[in-house]
Amino acid sequence: MTQSIAWRLQMWHAAILVSVVVGLCTAWFLQARRARLNEIDAELTSAARVLDGSLRGFDLRGFDTTERPISELLAADDHLRLSLPRELADRRDNQPEPYFGIWLEDGRELKSERLPERFSLESSETQLEAPARHGPNAILREVRIVGPAGSLILVGRDIGREIAELNRLAMRIAAFAMLILAAGLCGGWWLARSVLRPIAAMSDAASRFSAADMSPRINVVETESELGQLATILNEAFDRVERSFDQQRQFAADASHELRTPLAVIQSQIELALKRERTSEEYVKTLTTCSSASKRLSDLVESLLTLARLDFSSQPTEHTSIRVDLVAARCIDLMRPVAQQAEVNLRSELVPAIVVGDPKQIERVIFNLLKNSVAYNRPHGEVLLSVAVVGPSVELILQDNGIGISESDLAHVAERFYRADKARSRVHGGSGLGLSIAQGIIANHGGTMQIASKLDRGTTVTVHLPLASNRPRDPVKEPVDLI
Amino acid sequence: MRVLVVEDEPGLRDAVAMSLREEHYAVDEAADGRTGLQKARQWSYDAIVLDLMLPEFDGWELLAQLRKTHATPVLILTARDTVEDRVRGLDRGADDYLCKPFSLSELSARVRALIRRSHGQAKAEIVIGSVVINTANRTVEKEGRPVDLTAREYTLVELLALNRGELVSRSTVYDHVFDENEDSLSNLVDVHIYNIRKKLGKNFVTTRRGHGYIIET
């Protein structure tokens, strides 16, 4: 669960959302609280200033406080009453009235009104910022200023009401924050799910895709988005896997057919011969048939192994300099008796040319191609084998005016086991692998092969192989295309 | 009993045909799909042994064409051994499926079973009164004692026994007992029937003059 991308996305989203909302709401509350307290402080300060102004009328310095009681000082000047301004005392709402106290420099109290019980000057040495507490229930805020002749003026009041109001505000803010968080988290979860749903569909399709069932594909809804492109790419990869699997399956089916047929011949011939006593002619016939079947079988096995080796390595196993023209001449000599029997005229135009590679394999290529040219020919047909140097490569051309290959077959002739005309191929003993092998060997040697043909006109096979001097000693490996 | 072998591999075709002939089947051969279909339509074979990969057109095509008109039992003989291939073969009208390489004795057992079943005969033994015909061993017993029949005579008895209760015309006998290479004489069948009556009893086979032969049930 914790590994799920949706889960992790949601966690990150939640963490960020919570920190942002909590931070903003806290700042909001603190701001509101500070504004309210500043308001109260301003109010108290202005009250203290009024008292300060009133106090300046008294001759505090000349008043010998040690000899006369403080009450005389106030009585002597009774027109002047030390009290808070009326607008502050008669508040519009039922705010508790502020209290105040004035102390002389020597610490004696000049006047006080409504000082809280258990008030003590020491304990109420509070800063402007923090509310002073003088009782268990009262939350008090006080302002003290220094008045004339070193006197101390203190004005304060109960701010419980404001604090309660602020607490209510805090609750409202918290509720609001919760709402925002809930909405944000739900939205985030929904968003994460809807973004990741295509991924779930992809993983579902990919997990159902198997050798047994290659039909599952991802349903691509939007082709423009990143996930849509990914889905398209995956679908293409599935297609390629299916195609190569089909080819492999076809190859296996063909190979098993080609291998089983001669085996069936051998087995049935032997079983028939063993059923009863036979004449020696019959035994000879059985053995001849078996021998040709086993020859076919071993040729086929040889070809299959060659193909497997070609598939396995991307380079020839040997790096020998080969005179292609000499190899071609030898192939023609080998082929001549067969060609004479088929009444096909063999001609050659050979120019010395050297390639690097495996001489046996190069000979095999030329021989296979030559064999095809003779086999798929007709009496009095012609085959021309030419070797030339063209630019950086050796060009080998095999041209015949034989039966040719139809356009529909031409696309498939290099496929394994593909035979345009099965009956004819069987007569010539071909396995249907010759061209595949030739193509594999040429590709291994870094060359190319093209086949051009017209039905009833003939076939031209053109092979290009890198000329020896042009070939780097250690060829740079092509980057492998993974997909 | 007459069988057609359609197989393009000469070594295999020879062996199969030879083996069936030695079991006294009349055997025709075809090396490609076209010839095979022609022969299969022309003669009423008791069974066809059919390869799938054939020149001209393949065994699937032959089977599809043949099934439009004929219900001849077909045994597919092929190197394609996947389950899909077998299912496809049987679903398209083949009656049996045998993979290469195979044993000739299995092939002939399957051909015997095919022919038997196509006549609605489940068991290898056919009992007609006191006569017991064993199609597996190709032997005939009368009242518990083995009766010595020639191969032709046996084939004729089997043909009539498989179709007992039905009139078997003279041309049907020619179709099923002699293969395409035989120059049969018109009175040859009468000679065989005469011999069968001698060995299995006068009333075993009834002759309907001008129509054919019948084993009454």
* B153 vs A105 pLDDT, higher one: B153
pLDDT single digits (tens) B46-57: 999 999 888 878
Task: Using only the alpha carbons of chain B, give its radius of gyration.
Answer: 18
| Predicted pLDDT of residue A65 | 57
Residue B16 with chain A: CB contacts under 8 Å? 268
Which of A245, A246, A257, A261 should we substitute to test contact with B (largest number of B Cβ atoms within 10 Å)? A261
| Predicted pLDDT of residue A129 | 44
**Cβ separation A421–B55 shorter than 8 A:** yes
CA distance B154 to B160: 10
Q: Which residues pair with B126 in a beta bridge?
A: B133
Residue of A nearest to B82 (CA): A253
Q: Is the pTM of this model over 0.80?
A: no
| Predicted pLDDT of residue A64 | 57
| Predicted pLDDT of residue A88 | 64
CA distance A274 to A179: 94
How far B95 CA sits from the closest chain A CA (Å)? 21
Name the residue among A262, A268, A290 with its Cβ closest to that of B16: A268
3-state secondary structure of A82: coil
CA distance A437 to A422: 19
Residue A289 with chain B: CB contacts under 8 Å? 11, 14
| Predicted pLDDT of residue A406 | 83
| Predicted pLDDT of residue A273 | 92
Residue A293 with chain B: CB contacts under 8 Å? 11
Q: Is B9 on the interface with A (CB under 8 A)?
A: yes
- Assess whether the previous peptide bond of B10 is cis (omega < 30° from 0): no
Q: Is B146 on the interface with A (CB under 8 A)?
A: no
How far A425 CA sits from the closest chain B CA (Å)? 10
What are the DSSP calls for A379-405, one per residue? TTEEEEEEEEEETTEEEEEEEE-SS--
Q: Is A257 on the interface with B (CB under 8 A)?
A: yes
Q: How many CB atoms lie within 10 A of CB A346?
A: 20
| Predicted pLDDT of residue A479 | 46
Q: What DSSP designation does A19 have?
A: H
Residue of B nearest to A270 (CA): B15
3-state secondary structure of A445: coil
How far A348 CA sits from the closest chain B CA (Å)? 34
How long, in residues, is chain A?
Answer: 483
Judged against a pLDDT cut of 70, whether residue B27 lies above it is answered with yes
For chain A, give percent helix, strand, coil, nearest 5: 55, 15, 30
| Predicted pLDDT of residue B12 | 92
**Cβ separation B101–A263 shorter than 8 A:** yes
Residue pointed to by tokens 């057609």: B4
Pairing of strands B47-51, B74-78: parallel
How far B101 CA sits from the closest chain A CA (Å)? 4
| Predicted pLDDT of residue A61 | 65
CA distance A277 to A270: 12
Residue of B nearest to A287 (CA): B11
How far A457 CA sits from the closest chain B CA (Å)? 22
What is the token pair recorded at B147? 């009766």
How far B146 CA sits from the closest chain A CA (Å)? 23
Phi-psi region of A390 (alpha: psi -120 to 50; beta: other; left: phi over 0): beta
Name the residue among B11, B78, B100 with its Cβ closest to that of A269: B11
Q: What is the mean pLDDT of residues B60-77?
A: 91
**Cβ separation B11–A289 shorter than 8 A:** yes
ipTM of the complex: 0.81
Residue A272 with chain B: CB contacts under 8 Å? 15, 18-19, 22, 104
What is the token pair recorded at A48? 């203290």
How far B83 CA sits from the closest chain A CA (Å)? 12
Residue of A nearest to B7 (CA): A261
Q: Is B101 on the interface with A (CB under 8 A)?
A: yes
CA distance A77 to A98: 24
**What kind and span of H or E run contains A230?**
helix A226-274
List the domains of chain B with CATH numbers: 2-119 (3.40.50.2300), 125-214 (1.10.10.10)
Q: Is A275 on the interface with B (CB under 8 A)?
A: yes
Tens-digit pLDDT string for chain A (483 aa): 556 777 888 889 899 999 999 999 999 999 999 999 898 888 888 888 888 888 877 766 666 556 666 666 665 554 456 777 766 655 556 667 788 888 877 777 778 777 776 676 665 544 444 455 554 556 788 888 888 878 888 888 888 888 889 999 999 999 999 999 999 989 988 888 887 777 888 888 888 888 778 888 887 777 677 888 888 888 899 899 888 888 888 888 888 888 888 999 999 999 999 988 899 999 999 999 999 999 989 988 988 888 888 888 777 778 888 999 999 999 999 999 988 988 889 998 999 999 999 888 899 999 989 988 888 888 888 999 999 998 889 999 999 888 888 888 887 887 787 776 655 455 555 677 888 888 889 988 889 999 988 888 888 999 999 988 654 444 444 444 444
**Cβ separation A265–B11 shorter than 8 A:** yes
Name the residue among B12, B53, B81 with its Cβ closest to that of A268: B12
| Predicted pLDDT of residue A483 | 45
Please name the residues between 237 and 256 in chain A that touch chain B, using a CB distance below 8 Å. 253, 256
